[in-house]
Structure 1
Amino acid sequence: MFATPTGAIALVVCALLAGWAPPGRGAGHALEGGGAQPTTEVGFTHARIGQTWYYALPLPTNRSGHSIRITRARIVDPPQGMKITGFGAYAMADVDAIPLLAPEGDPDTPDFDRLKNHATAPVTVPAGQTSDFFFEAVIELVSPPRGAVRRCEYEYEYAAGGRRDTQVLPCGMVLKVAEPRH
């Protein structure tokens, strides 16, 4: 089919640049990441193995002309050492500020067990608006992480027409395990 291996490589590169989506979904373009997450890497250098952390994915803004319903949010390719144990969608009105990166049990970390988790149903984001909900990943450190979180993904459908898309947004988070003191 391809005259040269270069032709096959060019096709793969073009497909990657055009955006990839799982079978049955399109590569979306409706969302834009808001807040500090897309431009700032958050991190903590004294984490401990066994600790649970909450990480806020980029706050989604719907830049399309149609309402969308977010049906799933996730971290793409979490680094070895970080185990994703859950996700939630929480109303911004229920917290003082979005916890970009927070350890479980810290006095400044919201008690997510007491907040209503809206992730059990699609979260609607009206056209041209930023979501009233933030999406939080629950991460357990099982070993010293090897790398950083770089990509977060949203799956959504358009309220009218039901087209389903997947879109990856840049994000940045690093957890490093504290070196034992001698």
Structure 2
Amino acid sequence: MGTEEGKIGQEWNFGLPLPYNKSTKSLLITGAKVLDPPPGLKVRGVSAHTLASTGGDVVLLSQFGGDDPVAKEFDASKDISRTPVTVGPRSLSKVYYVARVKITGPVSKEIEKCRFEYQQDGKSYAQVIGCRLQLYVKK
């Protein structure tokens, strides 16, 4: 996923993969992070949003403050990232995570990895997963 239409100074919302719990026990997501922002991209933070707060839409990529109706709805939705998120057994999360990325200069690489932190049965875990973003500056 990505665009080659970025401009230095713009901020973009990049949807991380929707968490899925494959296990037979509930888990508690405690955080999400982009691991490898390349030079030219700065991660300003990661927010969490309920599917209900964005009309069931998951933001995959949108310009922050953009005119797209889904982007506007997302920008107005409440960030709940400070609250751990419970994901039931064998279920998709009803909350998704979005990184806000600022273009600070020319970009020559993609974002490729994200990490979710969670707890299950009183133990803490971290899982690295793929999350590709191609966000390049328009020439």
Alignment TM class, shorter chain as reference:
over 0.9
Equivalent position to 2:14, from 20, 33, 55? 55
Identity %, equivalent residues: 34
Partner of 2:61: 101
SS at match of 1:110: helix
Equivalent position to 1:174, from 126, 134, 137? 134
Q: Does 1 or 2 have the higher relative contact order (CA < 8 Å, sep 6+)?
A: 2
SS at match of 2:81: helix
Partner of 1:154: 116
Q: How many residues align?
A: 136
SS at match of 2:93: coil
SS at match of 2:33: strand
Equivalent position to 1:123, from 85, 100, 116? 85
Name the larger-Rg structure.
Answer: 1
Scaled by the length of structure 2, what TM-score is found? 0.93
2:9 and 2:103 in contact (8 A); partners too: yes
2:40 and 2:105 in contact (8 A); partners too: yes
Scaled by the length of structure 1, what TM-score is found? 0.72
- The yes-or-no answer on 1:114 pairing with 2:114 is no
Once residues 75 and 62 of structure 2 are traced to their aligned partners in structure 1, the CA distance between those partners, rounded to angstroms, is 14
In structure 2, stretches of 5+ residues that fail to align are none
Shift of the alpha carbon at 1:111?
A: 4.6
1:95 and 1:110 in contact (8 A); partners too: no
Shift of the alpha carbon at 1:113?
A: 4.9
Query: Alignment RMSD, CA only?
Result: 1.2
Runs of 4+ in 1 over 4 A off after TM superposition: none
In structure 1, stretches of 5+ residues that fail to align are 1-41
The aligned amino acid for 2:12 is W
2:13 and 2:64 in contact (8 A); partners too: yes
